Structure 1
Amino acid sequence: MWCPRCKEKDTKVIDSRVAGEHACIRRRRACIACEYRFTTREYIEVRYPRVIKRGGGRCQFDPAKLRSGVSRALEKRPMTSEQFEQLISSILDKICQISDDEITSQAIGEFILSSLKEADEVAYVRFASVYQSFNNIDSFQALIEDMQEQKEEQRSESCSEA
């Protein structure tokens, strides 16, 4: 590791500890030449699958694009940045658990929809309207009625168990 101040290649590790829920290693380093101290972080390099788009084209998965789409659906919704990061992390975990080298954009969309449905119903409807290309009010109404039916089924199941 080279020193950011003097560009010397010889540095030593002074301290090393696990950080961020065991997601990275934080290392405190010192330059042998100029004694400048600095911090580095090591992260696991995640290998995402390639995305098969609806038209059949393939591209590299972009976590920033996922983050942007979910963020847009959650705009002006009561979700903390910590909750948002947990939501994104859970979606990315689902994508990484796919053992194939490729994943369809539809599968990614379904992961996002199922996560949003649990987290925020309004964001779920917003994302679904774009993802499923709603073009009229009937599409929204059908989705909301379907959600209400599912809620009623869950209520009746929980009442029958009690």
Structure 2
Amino acid sequence: MRCPFCQNEDTQVKDSRPTDDKSAIRRRRFCPACGARFTTFERVQLRELTVIKKTGRRVPFERAKLERSLDISLRKRPVDPDRVERMINGIVRRLESMGENEIDSGEIGRLVMEGLESLDQVAYVRYASVYRNFREASDFEKFLGKMSGTEDEVFSEEP
């Protein structure tokens, strides 16, 4: 494993242990060249996934990008990080078990929306605003109306 600080290719594993949900191995590493310590995670990858963007462009699936988008949606929300990690693992497992090497970006978005809806309503709306490309406040009103089951009466008037 290459050191992220000095690029030395000879690093040493000092400690290995499974993550809390047993989906990965956490390894603490040490670089003898610069003395830096860093952590790596080892996960099972069933297949190489390619994401087909709306433009038709194909890019490799990146778990880190999924994590970043969820971090943005969940920013300052009282959600247990372990629940988020389990949700991410579940999404990745579902994508890998679909049997396809190429996944439409819309399918990934749909799975994320599904997970966020049960995890945190505010994060769900935040993610939807980007995923569904909200342009105006009325887009939020329509979406919130659908969430509450009433399309006309979006907000209740409380003093």
Q: TM-score w.r.t. structure 1 length?
A: 0.67
2:58 is equivalent to residue 61 of structure 1: no
The structure where helix makes up a greater share of residues is: 1
1:29-44 alignment runs, 5 A limit: 43-44=43-44
Equivalence for 1:139: 139
User: How far apart in 2 are the matches of 1:74 and 1:25?
Assistant: 25
Shift of 1:22: 4.8
Q: TM-score w.r.t. structure 2 length?
A: 0.68
1:76-115 alignment runs, 5 A limit: 76-115=76-115
Shift of 1:81: 1.5
1:44-55 alignment runs, 5 A limit: 44-55=44-55
User: How far apart in 1 are the matches of 2:146 and 2:52?
Assistant: 29
2:127 is equivalent to residue 124 of structure 1: no
User: How far apart in 2 are the matches of 1:137 and 1:96?
Assistant: 36
Instruction: Give yes or no for contact 2:87–2:115 (8 Å, CA) kept in 1.
Output: yes
Q: Which runs of 5+ in 1 are unaligned?
A: 6-16, 27-40, 151-162
1:20-31 alignment runs, 5 A limit: 20=19, 21-23=21-23
| Counterpart residue identity of residue 82, structure 2 | E
Between the two proteins, the alignment pairs up a number of residues equal to 125
User: How far apart in 1 are the matches of 2:42 and 2:134?
Assistant: 43
Shift of 1:45: 3.3
Deviation beyond 2 Å, 4+ runs, structure 1: 17-26, 41-48
* Structure showing greater Rg: 1
Shift of 1:18: 8.6
Identity of aligned residues (%): 32
Instruction: Give yes or no for contact 2:53–2:105 (8 Å, CA) kept in 1.
Output: yes
Post-superposition Cα deviations, 1:12-68, rounded to whole Å, max 9, x if no partner, equal: xxxxx9944554579xxxxxxxxxxxxxx8642342421111001101001100100
